[in-house]
Amino acid sequence: MSQQDGGVPISQTDEAGVSTPRGGHDPRTDDRRTRLRETLIDKALEILSTEGLGAMQARRVAQLAGCSVGAIYNVFPDLDELILRANALTLKRVKAHEREALAALPTTATRAERAMALAMAYVDFAFRYETAWRSLFDYRLTNKKPYPGWYHEAQADALSVLDATIPSALAGADPEAEESRQRLERTTWAAVHGVVATNMDSRLEERSRAEIEAQVRLLMTLLSKGLSAGP
């Protein structure tokens, strides 16, 4: 709350640091905050997608958004959340890219064929949007400041596309089946990502896309027996 005049607040400041004039809530303030928030996320995503995490600085984002550096901290508690919000949009792009791959399959496609299509779509995304893809994993929070719950939900939502590959026996409402389904999704994704990330790591011997795709196909072939199990 701001300074007072005779014990009456002149203005009040909300949790994001935006002041509202005395007399009550101003909906125009919410509109401005929302527009600024969306603009900042868009500009942060632009930087992460074209220049990478190393170029992600508050001053750079403010310059692109046409606002002051201080304005960023009026709508975000810190730069960490802005980065995560932008990365959450990239996670949505990954999911959309993989959904397109599934949509291109015939309705008669098996679980193994759907799993293969998703894996190859992930490889394609990593190569096509490499800078944005790398920004998802280059950024790390410390153990003292773990990822917020909403970001874990965004990660889980991105993995939910794998439901199309999960045996029906693990798709029910039973808690144990649900836990097994989630574990299988995480394991499958981790395996595919591990092949892609390890081979694309510039510190190791450079591998061609064809070689990476061949390794992913081999991996998914080996996994297909498990993915095809169940009724």
The amino acid at 103 = A
Q: Which of 177, 221, 165, 173 is nearest to 195 (CA)?
A: 221
pLDDT tens figures, 117-169? 999 999 999 999 999 999 999 888 766 788 899 999 999 899 888 877 765 54
At residue 222, the pLDDT reads: 86
| Low-confidence spans in the chain with pLDDT less than 50 | 1-21, 169-173, 230-231
Sorted by where each starts, the structural domains of the chain and their CATH numbers stand as 25-76 (1.10.10.60), 90-227 (1.10.357.10)
At residue 94, the pLDDT reads: 96
At residue 218, the pLDDT reads: 93
Q: Which of 105, 87, 98 is nearest to 45 (CA)?
A: 87
Tokens of 31: 């509109």
Phi-psi region of 17 (alpha: psi -120 to 50; beta: other; left: phi over 0): left
Cα–Cα distance for residue pair 7/4, rounded to 1 Å: 5
Mean pLDDT computed over every residue of the chain: 82
At residue 205, the pLDDT reads: 64
Q: Which of 141, 15, 142 is nearest to 76 (CA)?
A: 15
At residue 175, the pLDDT reads: 60
Residue 111: its H or E element: helix 111-128
Q: Which of 131, 138, 139, 140 is nearest to 93 (CA)?
A: 131
* Residues in CB range of 18: below 8 A, 6 or more apart: 29, 32, 33, 74, 75
At residue 202, the pLDDT reads: 58
Find where tokens 């070689």 sit.
Answer: 211
Burial of 8: CB neighbours in 10 Å, binned 0-12, 13-18, 19+: exposed
| 178 within 8 A of 156, measured Cβ to Cβ | no
At residue 45, the pLDDT reads: 97
Cα–Cα distance for residue pair 161/165, rounded to 1 Å: 8
Give the pairing of strands 19-21 and 11-13.
Answer: antiparallel
- Return the DSSP state at 140: -
At residue 35, the pLDDT reads: 94
Kindly report the pTM of this predicted structure: 0.79
